[in-house]
């Protein structure tokens, strides 16, 4: 997973993971989701990258959980 495209979504995901400010967290989640969508679009006709696709699925679950937790806490 050393390609430029995979590095972009991973960096955005890590940025969201490290964010402590609830308002900025949502912005970072949005950015990470957009980066993941872009990466999945770029992989759409590529049968390789199975490991990365598994990591993307896990990242999407985490981002969804973080977003829902912010809603429950009343930050959204």
| CA nearest to 28, candidates 10, 13, 40, 44 | 13
Tens of pLDDT, residues 15-67:
999 999 988 999 999 999 999 999 999 999 998 899 999 999 999 999 999 99
DSSP state of 49: -
- Rounded distance between C-alpha atoms, residue 33 and residue 57, angstroms: 11
- Rounded distance between C-alpha atoms, residue 63 and residue 75, angstroms: 15
> Which tokens is 46 given?
């590529």
Give this prediction's pTM.
0.87
The helix (H) or strand (E) run that includes residue 53 is helix 50-72
Locate tokens 């308002």: which residue?
23
Range of the domain at 13: 4-72
* Count of domains observed in the chain: 1
């Amino acid at each position: 997973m050393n390609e430029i495209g995979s590095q972009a979504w991973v960096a955005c995901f890590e940025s969201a993971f490290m964010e402590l400010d609830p308002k900025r967290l949502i912005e970072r989640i949005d950015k990470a989701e957009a980066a993941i969508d872009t990466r999945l679009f770029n992989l759409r006709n590529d049968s390789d990258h199975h490991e990365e696709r598994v990591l993307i699925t896990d990242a999407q679950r985490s981002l969804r959980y973080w977003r829902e937790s912010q809603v429950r806490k009343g930050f959204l």
